[in-house]
Every structure is written in C-alpha cells, then in structure tokens.
Structure 1
Amino acid sequence: MQEISQHLLNWYDTERRHLPWRAAPGTTANSYHVWLSEIMLQQTTVATVKAYFEKFTKLWPTLEALAAAPVEEVLKEWAGLGYYARARNLHKCANVVATEFAGEFPADENTLRKLPGIGDYTAAAIASIAFGQRAVVVDGNIERVVSRLNRIEAFLPQAKKPIKAATDLITPTERAGDFAQAMMDLGAMICTPKSPKCLLCPIQKFCSAAKTGDMEAYPRKKPKKALPTRRAVSFWLMYNGDILLERRPNKGLLGGMPGLFSTPWVERNNFPQPDEWPEHSPTTIEWNLIEDVTTHTFTHFRLETQIVVATVSDKLNIENGFWHPAKSINSVGLPTVFSKMVKLIT
C-alpha cells in the first residue's frame, strides 16, 4: 500500500496539472482557494471552473470580501456554472466562517461537514489539501481509479462504500493532500473513462483491471434511464427597449436567479396552449408565438421551451418582476437555460 502511494506521489511531483488554486507539492494550499474551487468543481469541468475561479478571486480576493458581497451579485457572477444552490450555499458558508470562525476555515473534517454546502467529499478535500490532515478523499476520478485498481464488482452507488474503504488503505499520513490531488490527476489524465493510457500509469503494475484488460468496465454502472421531457412556454415582454425579467424564488431550481416568466416546467406530451397562458403570463395581452424551440438538459430532466413575444406601451409593475435593458441583457447573469432563449430572440 505504501508503494502505491509513493509511486503516485513521485509521478505527481513531475506530471501534475498546474491549476490556479493549487499550491506546490509538499505545501498546503490557501483554504479559501481550495474551498472555492471544490464548490465550483462539483458537476463542472476544470476547464470551465478556471475562468470562474479567477473571476471570483479577482472580485473577492478573501473570504471576508465574498461574505460582504450581496448574494444577488454572487449569483450574477455564478451565472453559467449551473446548480445555483451551490452559489447560495457558497455565500452562506462564507458568512458563517467569517462570523463564527474569524474568517478561517476549521481544519477538522467533522467541523467542516457542518458548514453550509460542505459534504463528506468537500470536507475531506479541504482538510487534506488545505491543512495537511489525513482524510480519505473520493471524487469521480478517484472513484474510477480505485474501482479499477481493485476490480470492485459492486454497481454504483453501492460500490461507494468499498471504494472509500479501498482508498483509505492507500492514503498516506504524510502528504495526504498531494496524494488526493495525484489521484484526481491520474483519473483526469491517465485513467480516463474511455481508452485509459495504462502504459503511462505509474501504478499500472498494481492494477487488477489492467491485468485482465477490462478497465472500461469499471466502475460498474447500471444503464441510465432516459430523461423525461418537460415542456413550457416563456414570455418575452418588451417596453421601450427593456425586457421584463422575473426574480425566481430563493428556494427551488435556479433559486434567486433572474429569468423569463414561464408556465410551469412539467412533463407533458405537448406545449401549453394559448388558453393556458393567461394564468402564468405577466400580463393579459396578445402574444405572438416564435416557431423555434429551445432545449436544455438538467440533471434529471430535459426542458423544451416555446417563446411568445409581446410589446406594451406602459411600463407595468409586475410582482417579482423587473425591467432590464435588452441591449445589455448578457450583463444581468441569466442562467444558461434562459440565455439560450435570449439567443433565439436576438
């Protein structure tokens, strides 16, 4: 077990990815940077996160600065990253750490788990990478590496427990943070989901799947069910160059984010018909249907949206609504699902 970790650390020292939130091998990283990057990296690629991380740390170079920022501003800058509950929890966690921990993250894994938006994985990652604690870190990349290393036969998610136990066995006491990041990099660069580069792997000789040649069979996953399709109509209302936007409720999907007023996003075989629109439209008016349809895939469903447009001569005061210049619509921080609608109209 010690040999596996040493081979991997030696490889990491020369072949690691150079990422803006990382510290040099053998040193601990800035805890604010580790936490921020780990929250951003949930369900999001490294390539996408780099630009957001650099933007956030430029706008808010410290945790205290982020905590002091209005949550609406944080949500606006988060737009495009998706999973917006992460942004709300990010701001909430920053405020808790700023007020209850004097702006410094606790090093203890159990205490970290109690903070908003921090689960088992993120707590372990912060404890090991930012504070040098021995913690068992298992993300998607590590899950793949360990399941192949041991040919773990259980299907996910049942396999998570034996995968974590196997990761625990090879996690060293010294340089635990570097080891976790080495495992992440190995999964991202070498032990990839398809066509893994086994000949370049520093721990190939220990890998059970490499010996049998069935690397791509692990981790074992049951076939995915087809995503259900939901359909809706969104309302594009203009007044003198301004567009009416809705501030969505704080709780729920895209909570607190701006968007277009829409009919409910429900699973159905056809789009809402004109007689259904008045109940959900911001005003009673004659709407014109745009022929094209926008599509967007969320984690658990696919959304298809038709757009109807209209213009009013008076600036209406609509509950939960606000007007924004259409020419600068991209500055308001629309989620991707609504940005697609903007592109269709403009």
Structure 2
Amino acid sequence: MDGSASHEGESGGIDRVRGKGRGGNFLAIDRAAWERLWEVETGNRLNLVTAYIVLLAGTGSDHQLSKWSAKACEQHTGMGKPRAKVAIDDLIEHGFVAHTDRSTKLYPQYRLQPIPLDSDPIFLPVALVTGIETEASMLRRVRETGDALLLRMLVDLYGLVQLDATFGVPISSLSQTPPEAYPARKVFEIGIHSVWALRLVGGSKSAGDDWAGYHRSKSRRKDGAWEDFWARVAMLEKIGAIWYEAWIFDSEESDAEPLFPVDPAALYHQGEGDDVYHLTRTMLDAAANLSEERSNLLERYGIDMLVTLAQHRRAPAIRGVARMRIEADTPGRRLSYYKRRTQIEIYEAGYTQIALDALRGEFSRPMNTATPQ
C-alpha cells in the first residue's frame, strides 16, 4: 500500500485530526467503499460523493477522523449547507461515516471507516478539494458540471496512476496516439546506431481496459457510448484536471516500457527550458551529428522526434501519457519522480556522448542505459 496511512481507533490508538501530527497532503479512498458509494440509494449522487471526499480531505494521517462538515462542503465545493447536511446524513445512514463521541451539533466530528491494511486505496491530493492559491478547486469545477459520472471518471483516473517514471495513467487505458499515417520510421543507420522518426502531432486519443468499459456502459445511448465517454474526457481536459505528456516508449505495445519524456517545444525553438527540454534538444542534436546531412536533417523532419537507439532494439513509439494536473504527494509519487529524474539523466548523458563521438567519427559505442546501482 502506497502512502503513510495508519489505522488507529477502535484498537486503542491515539485519535488524530487534521492539523495534528504528520497529516498528509493526500487522502485515501478504499476502493470497496468507492464502489459502494455508487450503489447505495441516494437522492443526489453527486452531492453524496462530493461530501464524502470533502470529509476525507479533513482527516489527519489516519485517514479516519475529520472535523470538516457541511461548512467545508460549502467553502470548497459551493454545495450549500442544507444540501451538504442531507448528503452527510446519507453517508451516516449508509455507514460510510459516524459521529464520534466528541461530536456536537455545533462542532461535529466524524469517524470514517478504516481502510484495510492489505488494500490498495485510491490516493487523491487534498488540493483537489481545497484548490491551489486563488483557483477554484477541481472538485468544485466538477460539481459545477452537474455530472456525477464526470467525478467518477476523475477519481477512477487517479486510481489508475501507476508508479513508474511517468506517474501517469497506463497508455492502454488512456493516451494520445500517433497518426496512423506516420508510424515509427527508421531514418538511417550508422555504426551501431539507428535513428527513428516519431510523430505525435496530428494524432488522436485511444482508451481501453475495464475503466473505459465501465464508463461506456453508463451511457444511456448504446449508439453513443463512445461519444459520451470522449465528451467527459474532453471536459476533464477543459477544466484542467488532466493533461498529456509526450513519452518515448520502447515499442508500440500497450504494455511498452517508458524510456524518457520529450518536449515538443524543442522542435520549434532553442532557448531556456527544463530538464525535459534539454534532453530533447540533446537527442535531436545527437541525431543531427550522426547524419551525413547534418544541416538538413532537422529541417526535413521538422515535426518529428528523431530518436537514436542501438540497432538491436525494436522500433520505439511515442505516446502522450495522461497525467493528473494536481498530483497526490505520496511516497510513491516521490519514488516515481526519482525514477523519472534518473532516466532523464541517463539518456541525456547518453545522447551527449553519442553527439561527441559522432564529431570524432566514432559510431561504435552504444548508449549505456542501465540504471546505476
């Protein structure tokens, strides 16, 4: 289980509330409870689920005790107190939360059901509820659409995030795909190197796996299931909940390994940028140095990523990885960013060496992509 959640309470541990101890910047939702939220009877599903997430955001490191109530629902999501009280009463009736012994009408306090120690919860950032600086919270924006299934889709996407270097949604579930007319093309070979042209511009998006099947099944129109599905994905993009980051993968398979991220902006200008920008520029320069037509190569393949790999490797692929705009700062996220930084450093050093070797007419040294031990 990712995260630092403890599960004290009935067993005699110390009750903790948000703001005391090492409370998190993230909240955890038990997947079984998440599914049940969508099955119990309620007059307003969107308010019910929204209130539950707000109460969870008010917990401390045990993810159980919360002093947030109807007032917090109003403050962070725009749900009026009367509607929030109805939603919380529904949560109590169905056993999701209960008043603690310390709870009063003026100062309510709730205990949420503990998360089983062997479970795999969904982690959400508290900022999803509270917002960032002066921005309206993402939870408020979703509620303003009036679409409960949009909230379901958003949280489900958080539940799909994998702890590899992408810290994104699996490409088999949701991703940007290259244009069918421009698959990976081998530009040339020299020495031990192959240079591939990969294009993401002009592509589309693909989705699959169980989560896409679930959301398509909720459409009221059998002939418009995919239309409704993509409309919700587009809405999440419009409100800024998800975005796509270009990554080079070691193949076009749905379970391909991510190699490193690239920055499309590096194709159009040279200048200042972050580590991904510098890696991309270094990769392009390495390909140009390997080419006998150095001055024309980048111009001829202006909107393609020119990726150099050893000749024994299969054709790579480029995909846009779906990423969450606001991320849950869990230990798993920190580990993923360490992997990401390491892979960027490895490939930038490798492409720098290839470029320098090419200037000396040396084309027999392969890039070392092994992770340092």
TM range, normalised to the smaller chain? Answer: under 0.3
Higher helix content, 1 or 2: 1
The TM-score with structure 1 as length reference comes to 0.24
**TM-score, scaled relative to structure 2:** 0.23
